[in-house]
């Protein structure tokens, strides 16, 4: 057995071990015994997704180490322990706890450290860097209850940090020394568009500004930042994100060659000047530079794993094209982005696009800000070297998509091509996305390629004759909810029986298709949801117009738009709760939930609530629940618009709208986001310039931050956008698919939704609005409608035979 | 509504004295008119202190099983959705959606679980049920 020691258990170090195991490098008498030494307190995790830790993603979600991985014989992981020194003569590495590890080969994968400029005050409590999960925990803890933050550095990581602070509820200033944001990736025009968008989110941007000192308050913690021009910014927290430096300290100590500006020099095999030592990832200077992205690091790991198993792979550089989502804004650069090119610059929508071609017409580079939907195509063009026929149509986004041959790169984080995917699908008989991701690693980096991945999978399965089953259930084996919606809408089918006879099979239907169709018919203006055949289709909750609880009783939730309730209504709730012995809980949706009602008592309870002016809250339906709001401009010192009034307007407009799944909304009165709008299906945040509309957020077991759909909207524009968005979701969502999953499923995701809702690219706008107008017009409280007709009350009876002769 | 204590419900089968199967036809109990039942939905009836779930199918056949969801010990099966899965007439529990065959009582999602099936008669527009054979003892 040969001994391999890996110093550093970060993204690249872990990838090396995985590659080695996969290549069979642990097997045989000549196999490797691997000891990984990691300085952090936990095994390797997804640093690229670090910002999601602010949104609550834990170690479990971020970890890169699959269950039981280090139980593999021949693998050993030491965490919380660093390699302190290396003796290249003796071939030993000594750790911080004094352990001496002999090696036949040593791999340095020590990554980099944040660079902190030597500013006075840089060590004050409240000054942080942003690289590790520990950093995230420390920043989160410190920010609780604090109000303003400053981020030093307006590059990729700085802007990520700024977003994190914003999400923690702070007012944020970003200080960048260069004359523009993201100076490495963007040109002036792109940076300007990015700045406009970021400022619209309430983040203050200072470019061309150099810092003089971090200031301390009387309590000895950070109180602000002094700029070179004398400006003083107040700050309760400072995050320094002024670049990274390779961690070459161990290498330096053992005398191997370093680059003059730091970093461990390696050859094309990633070998250092000592052939028994390799260096990979951000600590290495390979092909002449430090590569600050994960994809090149992974390539180095693959090369070294290959060499360790007798191969001769090399690392010769990597594509630095990147697509990022920063503060919900798409930013991408392809190839060499600096230099002259054809530019589309629309300050109105704050979108910017630059495309650079050489004299022969081949794509050299591109910059995209605000809309990066053409990123995939541009990377293809860049890579293939195909001559661009018409730069202007490429710029306008009307050119045909790039060639998608087998060498087309789909996942740039893990270098997976269409060809790789196709052979995996064919060879391993893969037929779902999760397995495809697990087997090929595609889509497991930044996730940007997942829609493409899905497309490749579906095309390939179709080509293999495997039916892509989007069918709902055995009664509609090849119809999705969307298909059924279209059939009902266009074919004017208005009963379940007709639909089953004409487009389904078998009899009766089941617990899956019945409520789905009931919801579709309701969205298409089916009237009272319990009349005629519809009664047999509704789930228990819709059937009882209340929520069934685990003990067979129901809960009752009256609507309280904007969380407002009159004393009289509150008394009505209190009285029924007392008379019917109900447990009362204030919900997260800012209303009251009354638990423990018996089926027989529901009509009487609702008669009393109705008299007080309360109506059904639709907590039982797949429908709009509540629109949460903060107090906004009426009470709050920070509010810039009337969030409560807007929440009421939205709730009253969309109440009762049946949809594929429940819909939650929120409205915040300013960028502090007290109503948590970005975790809702529809979230609205007030800015000085108008409303910003976010969609596709989710809380629950799979939290997701909403995507920015449109910004700076007037009241009327907001309502129109939400009308279109909701109706489009109702049309095309699948059964029990929340907006978050819906956006992730559909091709091109939020970009597609934006084109439909904002640009009206499908020409559906007027129709969707008309449909919503009809809904608003036709709305009636379901409980009022029930109580109005005594024969509708018969079902609220526990036993049919009560009082019957026995 | 009365919540039956699951413990009580569970003990019914064992405390009831053994019955003479030959007299079973005398034990039909009238429950309600057929028109009191909604087509393709369930309703509960209380028979001898035991909750029964009755389902009226679209051809007016009526099927009955114990109302108590065996997974939860709560009488709610009558409020589930009626369906037809692989040719078997079923009800899906409204709590966690396990499906039960209305003719055999078998749970489609867990072979170890069953509910008792009650014989049903529909005559002259009236629905009557008899206690399930399983309660009649050996
Ligand atoms: C917030 C953030 C966002 C990012 N976003 C992107 C992105 O969108 N796209 C992208 O491509 N890249 C992104 N990156 C960069 C990416 O994370 C890095 O390129 C990648 O992590 C480099 O991997 P590595 O293994 O070389 O270094 P690291 O992941 O930093 O791992 C090095 C590990 O070695 C440990 N170590 C150091 N010295 C020793 C020692 N002497 N002994 C033992 N252990 C030691 C360190 O503690 C660390 O755990 C982002 C980085 C950050 C911080
Ligand atoms: S306006 Fe609303 S979101 Fe803004 S700080 Fe006040 S309460 Fe919070």
Q: Which of A339, A301, A305 is nearest to A318 (CA)?
A: A301
Question: Do A51 and A146 have their domain in common?
Answer: no
Please report the pLDDT score of residue A361 as a whole number: 84
Kindly report, residue by residue over A621-665, the tens digit of the pLDDT. 999 999 999 999 989 999 999 999 999 999 999 999 999 999 999
Tell which of A268, A286, A308 closes a domain.
A308
Is residue A559 one of the residues assigned to a domain?
no
Q: Residue B20 pLDDT more than 50? A: no
Alpha helices in A643-764 (DSSP H): 643-654, 715-732, 739-745, 749-757
CB < 8 Å to A802, chain B: 46
Is residue A290 one of the residues assigned to a domain?
yes
Q: Residue B133 pLDDT more than 90? A: no
Q: Which of A68, A352, A114, A346 is nearest to A239 (CA)?
A: A114
Encode A444-475: b = buried (16+ Cβ within 10 Å), e = exposed. bbbbbbbbbbbbbbeebbeeeeeeeeeebbbb
Residue to probe by mutation, ligand 1, list A5, A11, A184, most atoms within 8 Å of CB: A11
Q: If you write DSSP's letter for every residue of A36-66 in order, what string do you get?
A: EE--SSSS-B-GGGGGGGTTT--HHHHB-SP
Question: Do A258 and A304 have their domain in common?
Answer: yes
Question: Do A48 and A183 have their domain in common?
Answer: no
Smallest Cβ–Cβ distance between A511 and the set B36, B72, B97 belongs to B97
Ligand nearest to the CA of A675: 2
What ipTM was predicted for this assembly? 0.79
Is residue A587 one of the residues assigned to a domain?
no
Question: Do A223 and A255 have their domain in common?
Answer: no
Is residue A564 one of the residues assigned to a domain?
no
Architecture (CATH level 2) of domain B3-81+115-136: 3-layer Sandwich (2.102)
Please report the pLDDT score of residue B138 as a whole number: 37
Question: Do A378 and A433 have their domain in common?
Answer: no
Q: Output DSSP code: residue A202.
A: T
Smallest Cβ–Cβ distance between B81 and the set A514, A599, A797 belongs to A514
Question: Do A99 and A170 have their domain in common?
Answer: no
- Under the banding of pLDDT at 50, 70 and 90, the label for residue A3 is very high
Kindly report, residue by residue over B71-80, the tens digit of the pLDDT. 888 999 999 9
Question: Do A713 and A670 have their domain in common?
Answer: yes
CATH of the domain at A335: 3.30.390.30
Residue nearest to atom 51 of ligand 1 (CA): A48
- Phi and psi for A494 in degrees, rounded to 5? -125, 5
Give B85→chain A minimum CA distance, Å: 7
pLDDT, mean of residues B8-33: 54
Contact present, A470 and A461 (Cβ < 8 Å): no
Q: In angstroms, rounded to a whole number, what is the distance separating the alpha carbons of residues A285 and A108?
A: 12
Task: Show the domain range for A451.
Answer: 404-466
Question: Do A725 and A665 have their domain in common?
Answer: yes
Question: What torsion, rounded to 10 degrees, do the Cα atoms A705, A707, A710, A714 define?
Answer: -20
Q: Which of A139, A172, A142, A132 is nearest to A154 (CA)?
A: A172
Residue nearest to atom 27 of ligand 1 (CA): A111
Q: In angstroms, rounded to a whole number, what is the distance separating the alpha carbons of residues A291 and A295?
A: 9
The C-alpha angle with vertex A75 and arms to A69 and A81, in degrees rounded to 5, equals 100
Is residue A373 one of the residues assigned to a domain?
yes
Please report the pLDDT score of residue B18 as a whole number: 40
Q: How far is Cα of residue A624 from the mean position of the Cα atoms in its chain? A: 22
Smallest Cβ–Cβ distance between A474 and the set B37, B44, B85 belongs to B85
Q: Between chains, do B79 and A543 touch, taking CB under 8 Å as contact? A: yes
Contact partners, residue A462, CB within 8 Å, separation at least 6: A468
In this structure, the strands spanning A148-152 and A237-240 are parallel
Q: Is the CB of A683 under 6 A from ligand 2?
A: no
Question: Do A660 and A725 have their domain in common?
Answer: yes
Contact partners, residue A506, CB within 8 Å, separation at least 6: A474, A475, A500, B84, B87
Q: In angstroms, rounded to a whole number, what is the distance separating the alpha carbons of residues A281 and A663?
A: 44
Question: Do A395 and A408 have their domain in common?
Answer: no
Residue ranges of the domains in chain B?
Answer: 3-81+115-136
Tell which of A400, A428, A454 closes a domain.
A400
CB < 8 Å to A795, chain B: 38
A663: which strand partners?
Answer: A624
Is A795 touching B (CB cutoff 8 A)? Answer: yes
User: What is the tally of structural domains in chain A?
Assistant: 6
CATH of the domain at A70: 3.50.50.60
Question: Do A634 and A764 have their domain in common?
Answer: yes
Please report the pLDDT score of residue A491 as a whole number: 77
Kindly report, residue by residue over A131-144, the tens digit of the pLDDT. 999 999 999 999 98
State the distance from the centre of ligand 2 to the C-alpha of A666, rounded, in angstroms: 12
Q: In angstroms, rounded to a whole number, what is the distance separating the alpha carbons of residues A157 and A145?
A: 24
Tell which of A195, A222, A242 closes a domain.
A242
Q: Between chains, do B83 and A515 touch, taking CB under 8 Å as contact? A: no
Give A550→chain B minimum CA distance, Å: 7
Give A499→chain B minimum CA distance, Å: 16
Is A261 touching B (CB cutoff 8 A)? Answer: no
Please report the pLDDT score of residue A420 as a whole number: 87
Is residue A804 one of the residues assigned to a domain?
no
Distances (CA, A) of A678 to A69, A145, A160, A641, A671: 36, 20, 16, 17, 11
Alpha helices in A441-564 (DSSP H): 450-463, 481-490, 496-503, 513-523, 534-537, 540-544
Kindly report, residue by residue over A754-797, the tens digit of the pLDDT. 999 999 888 888 989 999 999 999 899 999 999 988 888 888 98
- Under the banding of pLDDT at 50, 70 and 90, the label for residue A466 is low
| A-to-B residue pairs, Cβ atoms closer than 8 angstroms | 100
Please report the pLDDT score of residue A764 as a whole number: 86
Question: Do A96 and A160 have their domain in common?
Answer: no
CB < 8 Å to A798, chain B: 1-2, 44
Q: Is the CB of A563 under 6 A from ligand 1?
A: no
Q: What is the pTM of this model?
A: 0.53
Q: Which of B68, B81, B89 is nearest to A544 (CA)?
A: B81
- Under the banding of pLDDT at 50, 70 and 90, the label for residue A388 is confident
Q: In angstroms, rounded to a whole number, what is the distance separating the alpha carbons of residues A241 and A239?
A: 6
């Amino acid at each position: 057995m040969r001994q391999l020691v890996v110093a550093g258990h970060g993204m690249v170090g872990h990838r090396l071990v995985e590659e080695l195991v996969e290549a069979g490098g642990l097997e045989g008498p000549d196999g490797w015994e691997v000891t990984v030494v990691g300085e952090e307190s936990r095994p390797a995790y997804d640093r690229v997704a670090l910002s999601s830790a602010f949104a609550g993603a834990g170690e479990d979600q971020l970890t890169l180490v699959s269950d039981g991985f280090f139980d593999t014989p021949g693998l050993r992981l030491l965490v919380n322990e660093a390699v302190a020194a290396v003796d290249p003569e003796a071939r030993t590495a000594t750790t911080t706890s004094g352990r001496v590890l002999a090696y036949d080969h040593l791999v340095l994968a020590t990554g980099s450290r944040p660079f902190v400029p030597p500013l006075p005050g840089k060590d004050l409590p409240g000054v942080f860097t942003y690289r590790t999960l520990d950093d995230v925990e420390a920043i989160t803890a410190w920010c609780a209850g604090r109000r303003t933050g400053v981020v030093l550095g307006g590059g990729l990581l700085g802007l990520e940090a700024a977003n994190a602070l914003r999400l923690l509820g702070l007012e944020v200033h970003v200080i960048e020394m260069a004359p523009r944001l993201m100076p490495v990736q963007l040109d002036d025009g792109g940076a300007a568009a990015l700045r406009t968008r970021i400022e619209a989110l309430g983040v203050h941007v200072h470019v061309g500004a150099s810092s003089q000192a971090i200031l301390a308050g009387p309590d000895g913690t950070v109180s602000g930042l002094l700029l070179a021009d004398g400006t003083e910014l107040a700050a309760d927290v400072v995050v320094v994100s002024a670049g990274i430096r390779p961690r070459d300290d161990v290498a330096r100590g053992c005398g191997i060659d370093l680059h003059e500006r730091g970093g461990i020099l390696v050859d094309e095999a990633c070998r250092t000047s000592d052939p028994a030592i390799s260096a990979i990832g951000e600590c290495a200077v390979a092909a002449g530079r430090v590569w600050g992205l994960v994809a090149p690091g992974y390539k180095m790991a693959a090369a070294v794993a290959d060499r360790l198993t007798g191969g001769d792979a090399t690392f010769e550089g990597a594509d630095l094209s990147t697509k990022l989502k920063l503060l919900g804004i798409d930013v991408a650069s392809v190839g060499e982005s600096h230099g002259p090119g054809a530019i589309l610059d629309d300050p109105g929508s704050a979108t910017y696009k630059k495309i650079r071609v050489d004299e022969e017409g081949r794509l050299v580079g591109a910059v995209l800000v605000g809309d990066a939907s053409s990123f995939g195509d541009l990377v293809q063009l860049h890579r293939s070297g195909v001559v661009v026929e018409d730069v202007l149509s490429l710029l306008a986004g009307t050119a045909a998509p790039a060639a998608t041959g087998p060498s087309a790169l789909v996942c740039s984080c893990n270098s997976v091509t269409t060809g790789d995917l196709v052979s995996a699908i064919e060879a391993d008989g893969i037929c779902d996305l999760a397995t495809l991701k697990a087997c090929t690693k595609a889509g497991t980096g930044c996730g940007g390629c997942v829609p493409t991945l899905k497309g490749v999978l579906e095309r390939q399965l179709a080509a293999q004759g495997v039916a892509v089953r989007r069918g709902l259930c055995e009664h509609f084996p090849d119809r999705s909810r969307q298909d059924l919606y279209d059939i009902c809408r266009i074919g004017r089918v208005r009963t379940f029986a007709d639909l089953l006879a004409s487009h389904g099979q078998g009899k009766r239907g089941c617990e899956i298709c019945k409520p789905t169709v009931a919801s579709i018919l309701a969205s298409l203006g089916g009237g009272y949801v319990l009349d005629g055949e519809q009664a047999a289709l509704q789930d228990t909750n819709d059937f009882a117009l209340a929520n069934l609880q685990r003990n067979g009783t129901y809960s009752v939730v009256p609507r309280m738009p904007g969380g407002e309730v009159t004393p009289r209504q509150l008394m009505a709730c209190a009285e029924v709760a007392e008379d019917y012995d109900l447990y009362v809980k204030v919900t997260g949706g800012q209303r009251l939930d009354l638990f423990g009602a018996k089926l027989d008592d529901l009509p009487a309870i609702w008669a009393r609530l109705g008299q007080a002016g309360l109506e059904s809250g639709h907590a039982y339906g797949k429908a709009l629940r509540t629109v949460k709001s903060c107090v906004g401009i009426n009470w709050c010192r920070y509010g810039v618009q009337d969030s409560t009034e807007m929440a009421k307007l939205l709730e009253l407009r969309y109440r009762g709208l049946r949809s594929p799944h429940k819909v939650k909304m929120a409205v915040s009165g300013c960028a502090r986001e007290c109503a948590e709008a970005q975790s809702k299906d529809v979230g609205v945040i007030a800015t000085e310039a108008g409303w910003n509309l976010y969609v596709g957020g989710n809380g629950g077991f799979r939290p997701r931050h909403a995507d920015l759909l449109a910004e700076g909207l007037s009241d009327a524009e907001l309502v129109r956008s939400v009308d279109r968005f909701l109706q489009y979701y109702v049309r095309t969502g699948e059964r029990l698919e929340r907006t978050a999953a819906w956006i992730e499923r559909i091709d091109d995701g939020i970009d597609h939704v934006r084109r439909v809702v904002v640009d009206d690219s499908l020409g559906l706008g007027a129709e969707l609005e008309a449909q919503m107008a009809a809904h608003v017009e036709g709305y009636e409280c379901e409980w009022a409608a029930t109580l109005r007709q005594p024969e509708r009350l018969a079902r609220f009876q526990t036993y049919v035979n009560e009082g019957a002769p026995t | 509504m009365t919540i039956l204590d699951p413990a009580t419900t569970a003990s019914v089968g064992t405390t009831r004295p053994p019955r003479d199967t030959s007299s079973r036809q005398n034990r039909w109990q009238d429950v309600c008119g057929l028109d009191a039942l909604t087509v393709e939905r369930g309703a509960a009836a209380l028979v001898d202190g035991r909750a029964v779930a009755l389902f009226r199918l679209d051809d007016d056949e009526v099927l009955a099983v114990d109302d108590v969801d065996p997974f939860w010990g709560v009488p709610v099966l009558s409020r589930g959705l009626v369906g037809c899965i692989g040719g078997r007439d079923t009800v899906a529990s409204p709590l966690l959606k396990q499906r039960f065959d209305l003719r055999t009582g078998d749970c489609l999602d867990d072979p170890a679980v069953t509910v008792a099936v009650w014989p049903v008669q529909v005559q002259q527009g009236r629905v009557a049920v008899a206690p399930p054979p399983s309660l009649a003892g050996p």
